[in-house]
């Protein structure tokens, strides 16, 4: 796993770490991979339809989740990925049975 930034300005070091370890992947692709790995199997999103895009280190969350808590968890997980500059949470809450 990659180190999380300690304080203000440390994100640049984390981005460099991502580029060193990416094996030819772009920073955006690496961020997407790390985010996907961090939420894989998470019970908050089991059965949810979520699409993730990363553009210029901005994570864009699209799709539907079953609760406000799931929406918050996905946003927090995105912010925890090293190198993320911003998160655009466009997840819609659709309670089970209302699709």
* Cα angle 29-21-44, degrees, rounded to a multiple of 5: 50
Positions in the chain whose pLDDT score sits under 50: 1-13
Query: What is the C-alpha separation between 79 and 34, in angstroms, rounded?
Result: 11
Which pLDDT does position 15 carry in this prediction? 53
Alpha helices in the chain (DSSP H): 11-21, 27-39, 68-80
48, 67 in Cβ contact below 8 A? no
Which pLDDT does position 17 carry in this prediction? 53
Which pLDDT does position 2 carry in this prediction? 36
Which pLDDT does position 69 carry in this prediction? 92
Which pLDDT does position 23 carry in this prediction? 63
Which pLDDT does position 58 carry in this prediction? 97
Q: Output the pTM of the full model.
A: 0.72
DSSP letter at 60? E
């Amino acid at each position: 796993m990659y180190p999380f930034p300690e304080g203000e300005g440390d994100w640049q070091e984390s981005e460099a770490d991502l580029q060193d370890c990416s094996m030819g992947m772009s920073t955006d692709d690496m961020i997407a991979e790390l985010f996907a790995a961090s939420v894989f199997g998470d019970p908050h999103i089991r059965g949810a339809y979520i699409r993730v895009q990363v553009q210029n280190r901005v994570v864009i969350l699209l799709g539907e989740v079953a609760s406000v808590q799931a929406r918050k968890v996905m946003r927090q997980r995105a912010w925890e990925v090293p190198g993320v500059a911003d998160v655009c949470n466009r997840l819609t809450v659709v309670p089970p049975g209302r699709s």
